[in-house]
Chains A and B, each alone.
Chain A
Amino acid sequence: QQPVQSPQAVILREGEDAVINCSSSKALYSVHWYRQKHGEAPVFLMILLKGGEQKGHEKISASFNEKKQQSSLYLTASQLSYSGTYFCGTDHQGAQKLVFGQGTRLTINP
């Protein structure tokens, strides 16, 4: 039931783009994306509801393909502050009961 995230880790130079994928074996009601920096709590980035919508937050956006039970997070022109571990949380029933993937560690170098 745990979603699968890929890749597990990414190393970029500042200004490069990244895509993080989240795939579920069960039908999805919503996908929630979080970023966690070392020693801190996960911080909410955005939520995607079933319906295949795409959302954006500054240079970070995400898509949701309900049919494929997948979501992707897009980071454009990455900044040093984007470093951290990104988690997708999947909700299968609309009950806010989130199951989290193992995370994708993103490192941005100057």
Chain B
Amino acid sequence: DARVTQTPRHKVTEMGQEVTMRCQPILGHNTVFWYRQTMMQGLELLAYFRNRAPLDDSGMPKDRFSAEMPDATLATLKIQPSEPRDSAVYFCASGLEFSGSGNTIYFGEGSWLTVV
């Protein structure tokens, strides 16, 4: 049963602490996305990678957020320092992209972050 795996599932941290979220995409998928979901903003695209190369991180606050893909089976999203306004659900999604394929993307269970 192929699925996107995210850790941690839940995290409560104090303001100013570093938070790292990890994602294992579906095996064979070459595109990885980070989305953030809040009641006010809905699902926002933060960053995405194709074949491990960052393609777009324009949705990410650059001063405190960073996203990397150290290898094909691991993507990370780091917040340093964290702030209460970062409290949200962070979803990782993966897909297989090749030109004109019309393939969709599949979401992980999400990392529920609360910054107090």
* A96 and B95 within 8 A (CB): yes
B70 within 8 A of A: no
Beta-carbon contacts of A43-58 to B below 8 Å, as 1s and 0s? 1100101000000000
- Size of A's binding interface in residues, CB under 8 A: 23
A41 and B108: CB pair below 8 A? yes
Shortest CB–CB separation between residue A48 and chain B, in angstroms? 9
- In the complex, the answer to whether A94 meets B103 with C-beta atoms within 8 Å is no
Q: CB of B34 within 8 A of chain A?
A: no
Q: Is the CB of B104 within 8 A of A47?
A: yes
A34 to B43, CA, bound (A): 12
> Is B97 an interface position by the 8 A CB rule?
yes
Given A30-B102, A41-B110, A96 and B97 contact (CB-CB distance below 8 Å): yes
Q: Determine if A41 and B42 form an interchain contact, defined as CB atoms under 8 angstroms apart.
A: no
Interface residues of B in 1-21 (CB under 8 A from A): none
Contact with A along B18-35 (1 / 0, CB 8 A): 000000000000010101
Query: Would you call A102 an interface residue if the criterion is a C-beta within 8 Å of the partner chain's C-beta atoms?
Result: yes
Cβ-closest chain B residue relative to A95:
B97
Q: In the complex, A42→B43 CA distance in Å?
A: 10
Instruction: Check B107 against A96 for contact (C-beta < 8 Å).
Output: no
Does B45 reach chain A (CB closer than 8 Å)? yes
Q: How far is the CA of A102 from the CA of B42 in the complex (A)?
A: 6
Find chain A residues with CB under 8 A from B104 CB: 32, 44, 47, 96
Using Cβ atoms and an 8 Å threshold, which residues of chain A touch B110? Answer: 41
Nearest CB in chain B to that of A43: its residue: B107
Q: Are B48 and A97 in contact (CB under 8 A)?
A: yes
7 additional contacts, CB 8 Å, given A42-B43, A44-B104, A96-B95?
A41-B107, A47-B102, A94-B99, A96-B104, A97-B48, A98-B33, A99-B45
Those 7 A-B pairs whose CB atoms lie nearest each other, nearest first: A100-B43, A41-B107, A49-B102, A102-B42, A47-B104, A96-B97, A42-B107
